[in-house]
């Protein structure tokens, strides 16, 4: 390999593997196979002309030369990451990550923000990981216990909702005749709501979804009745797409919270986005 072709991807693989000293965990973080990690490290070893790791029964060990090289590569790679992140923050694009379950609440707010402030561009990335952190994003909405330093947007409160075209039940017992739409592969959200009312129901017909937004969409189409967060479905209820037949909602103890990048590292207009989303 030409000495001028510095293998940056291989350096990244080396840094991740050196942190874990385990090919399986390194491959998981890099989202590639163990074989691919090994090939990247071999590429870097070939470029350098010496081995970086030795294999042992309990995992990997850095060689003496690999251990000596590691701190300088860590420092150099961090400088590259910081430089590229700084260049990325130089424009008005705000990188926002949010769980798909928040889309019914989030998208109308982003549309309204764009209408009022066309100079603010939000690059939205959705995820199924409710508890993920900022990673390489400028802001992130997370679900669950509120992380330290985050802004609590709203607490989760569950209530049944269904399409407005369907005749609603007047008593809890009448729910048994509907198809139950579950926002998760198990039935925990429905069970939380029923437990809050000290009630139990037979559930003869059930459909399970991976996320709450999918269950809400199915309810809007008249597929059945789901239990959903009252804040997430607020716009759908106001616009007549859904009805909430019961006034009772049950707090789950979880929250939707907003994490943001530190002010010194923040892109332009991030404070405006945070203020906008905080006005629930």
77 and 138 housed in the same domain: no
Helix (H) / strand (E) containing 139:
strand 139-144
77 and 207 housed in the same domain: no
Are 222 and 166 in contact, with CB atoms under 8 Å apart?
A: yes
Residue-wise DSSP of 179-204: PEEESSSSSHHHHHHHHHTT------
179 and 240 housed in the same domain: yes
Tell me, what's the pLDDT at 84?
Answer: 75
176 and 231 housed in the same domain: yes
128 and 170 housed in the same domain: no
167 and 247 housed in the same domain: yes
**Residue at 3 is within a domain:** no
The residue written with tokens 């216990």 in the block is 145
Total domains in the fold of the chain: 3
- Alpha helix segments (H runs only) across the chain: 8-20, 23-30, 34-48, 64-88, 103-116, 188-196, 212-220, 234-238, 270-278
51 and 102 housed in the same domain: no
30 and 15 housed in the same domain: yes
148 and 265 housed in the same domain: yes
Longest CA span, the chain: 76
* pLDDT block averages, 10 residues each, the chain of length 280: 71 92 90 92 91 87 92 89 68 84 91 91 86 83 89 95 93 94 91 92 93 93 96 93 94 94 87 89
Range of the domain at 111: 93-153+255-278
Residues 6+ apart with CB under 8 A from 256: 102, 105, 141, 142, 143, 152, 153, 154, 155, 156, 231
């Amino acid at each position: 390999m030409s000495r001028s072709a510095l293998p940056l991807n291989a350096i990244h693989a080396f840094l991740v593997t050196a942190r874990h000293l385990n090919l399986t965990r390194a491959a998981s973080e890099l989202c590639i196979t163990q074989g691919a990690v090994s090939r990247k490290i071999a590429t870097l070893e070939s470029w350098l002309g010496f081995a970086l790791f030795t294999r042992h029964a309990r995992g990997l060990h850095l060689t003496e030369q690999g251990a000596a090289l590691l701190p300088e590569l860590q420092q150099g790679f961090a400088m590259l990451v910081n430089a590229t992140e700084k260049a990325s923050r130089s424009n008005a694009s705000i990188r926002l990550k949010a769980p798909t379950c928040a889309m019914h609440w989030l998208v109308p707010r982003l549309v309204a923000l764009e209408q009022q402030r066309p100079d603010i561009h939000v690059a939205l990335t959705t995820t199924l990981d409710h508890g993920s952190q900022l990673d390489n994003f400028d802001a992130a909405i997370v679900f669950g216990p509120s992380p330290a330093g985050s802004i609590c947007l709203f607490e989760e409160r569950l209530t049944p909702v269904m399409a407005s075209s369907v005749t609603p039940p007047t008593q809890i017992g009448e729910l048994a005749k509907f198809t139950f739409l579950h926002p998760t592969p198990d039935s925990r959200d429905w069970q939380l709501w029923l437990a809050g009312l000290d009630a139990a129901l037979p559930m003869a017909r059930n459909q399970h979804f991976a996320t709450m937004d999918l269950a809400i969409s199915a309810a809007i189409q008249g597929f059945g009745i789901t239990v959903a967060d009252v804040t997430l479905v607020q716009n759908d209820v106001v616009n007549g797409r859904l009805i909430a037949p019961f006034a009772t909602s049950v707090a789950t103890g979880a929250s939707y919270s907003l994490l943001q990048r530190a002010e010194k590292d923040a892109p332009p207009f991030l404070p405006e986005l945070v203020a906008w989303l905080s006005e629930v």
